[in-house]
Amino acid sequence: MLGPLFKKTDGEMIPQNEQYQNYRLKTRLVCFFYDKDEFKEEIKNLKQGARKLSGRSSLRVAMVTNSKLVKQLKKEMSVKYFSDLSLSSCVLKRFDGEFIVRDMNDQDQKQEMDKWITINSKKEVDILDEETLALQQSLGTSMFLVFVDDTDKSHEAIKEIEKI
């Protein structure tokens, strides 16, 4: 198990799945490994990263190592979940519905999984709330803050900042 089952709120224990509905930055990660012997280090890195992030109740992590199932998924979801030549990848679905794919065959992917998950769990430009602040602080990187009028329903200021 990678996260707490219950969260204490106002003196009572609430099942985590009920509390989950209140999170804004819901993130799902599924990693597919066609040959688990070939990807021992990557699987170890994934497990270590998931353990480091186990306190994030808004995160769910899964791993598929059944080669027949991975091959079937490659046929059905190749464009969305896999690069052209790869049978092993990690797919992160962010709270806003965006999918981010990490090709596990790509030798340039040296970033630790916990950092990759955290960075891709949020948009580059987003509101600063308790969840985004916690993610940003866990990365140990600086933030650029801009104050905008949130009564503007068109969100024009935010759209302009995202272009930068």
pLDDT of residue 5: 46
Cα 44 to Cα 28, 36, 62, 88, distances in angstroms = 19, 10, 13, 14
**Distance between CA atoms of 100 and 111, rounded to whole angstroms?**
15
Summarize pLDDT for 120-149 with one digit per residue, the tens.
998 887 778 888 888 888 888 887 887 777
pTM, rounded to two decimals: 0.75
Percent pLDDT > 90 in the chain is 32
Q: State the pairing for strand pair 99-103/59-64.
A: unpaired
Window from 23-27, 109-113, 115-119 with minimum mean pLDDT? 109-113
**Distance between CA atoms of 25 and 15, rounded to whole angstroms?**
18
Domain annotation for the chain: domains and CATH numbers: 6-121 (3.40.30.10), 123-164 (no CATH)
